Amino acid sequence: MNIPQLTPQTPTSPCTVMSITASSSIKCCEDTVGRRKRLSIDDTGLLTFPEKNLILHVPTAKPPRPRRIILVRHGQSEGNVDEGAYTRVADPKIRLTERGKREAEECGVRIREMIEKDGADDWKVYFYVSPYERTIETLRGLGKAFQRSRIAGVREEPRLREQDFGNFQDREQMKIQKAVRVQYGRFFYRFPNGESAADVYDRITGFRETLRTDIDIGRFQPPGEQSPNMNLVIVSHGLTLRVFLMRWYKWTVEQFERLNNMRNGNEIVMQTGQGGRYSLLVHHTQQQMIDFGLTQQMLDDQIWQKTAKPGELNYDYLTNGPSFFTHFDDENEAIFN
């Protein structure tokens, strides 16, 4: 079948078409740095993405999992210094302070040094970033620590945005609403015209599924160049990152309420252990995680994560049983067993 010559204005795909010929492929922009990918013709003669072929025709061996998932909170922002900034500037437009820019650059250096300690020659980083101004600025600060050849790609991800606090043009109303949230509970309280942490949980659930698919199809590196020394960096906001961890590790609402915010310009590292699962205790100490808000039950699960394999379940995780059923005692245990 002859494929007609198309002009760049023809709406054949969401990307900007560069050229198309009878050779059955066109060049298309992608979210990679300094590299274009190609669309190809599938078995039905339709244009398709290589990633779709990986889903439809599952390979016998999955690509290696990235070595780390690194969660970075943006550097100090104008809103962190003066909450009144939100009454003058829309939340997505709040920028970093000079200190926040330095924090972002220092965080990038720490991440690079951490990765270099692995001793691998082929390591790279791939970024997911919230579209807010302060997170984009943080990303640019982080990026100063890496050469172009080390950056596999960047994706702007709106689902990683900050919790929507509503329209806070009235500073006194802002203080009242935040005080009410403390009484009502940080997870369920929804700001007027805004979101609750539970709402953030719903959109982070969708992002998590996207992330898992990206990992399964190995979208971070082209076929033949895939390495276990890939590192994912998620640049986002304090509450959003806590909700991400809650969703990933299946923590309860009560456990979420115990968590403390990360400091601006700091990182929490989920790193693969001996079996290939991500654990917070491969990079961090137990005391660091206690300071973050993890209970002993949560720490026990993280210890299990250090050696478990993907797909395995922790049947001894106490949150799944006795923490909900408080009537158990030794006598009842003897009866049930």
Among all residues, which ones are annotated catalytic?
74, 162
Question: Is 78 a known ligand-binding residue?
Answer: yes
Question: Is 331 a known ligand-binding residue?
Answer: no
| Opening angle at CA 236, ends 231 and 239, nearest 5 | 125
Place of tokens 């050849």: 149
Question: Is 79 a known ligand-binding residue?
Answer: yes
Distances in Å between the Cα of 56 and the Cα atoms of 48, 49, 286, 307, 311 are 11, 11, 42, 31, 21
Question: Is 112 a known ligand-binding residue?
Answer: no
Backbone angles phi, psi at 267, to 5 degrees: -130, 150
Question: Is 116 a known ligand-binding residue?
Answer: no
Question: Is 73 a known ligand-binding residue?
Answer: yes
Give the span between the Cα atoms of 96 and 134, in whole angstroms: 5
Question: Is 80 a known ligand-binding residue?
Answer: yes
Distances in Å between the Cα of 308 and the Cα atoms of 227, 231, 249, 304 are 21, 20, 13, 6
Question: Is 190 a known ligand-binding residue?
Answer: no
User: Which structure tokens are listed for 337?
Assistant: 């067993």
Question: Is 108 a known ligand-binding residue?
Answer: no
Q: Strand pairing partners for 72?
A: 235, 267
Annotated binding site: 73-80, 134
Annotated binding site for substrate: 73-80, 134
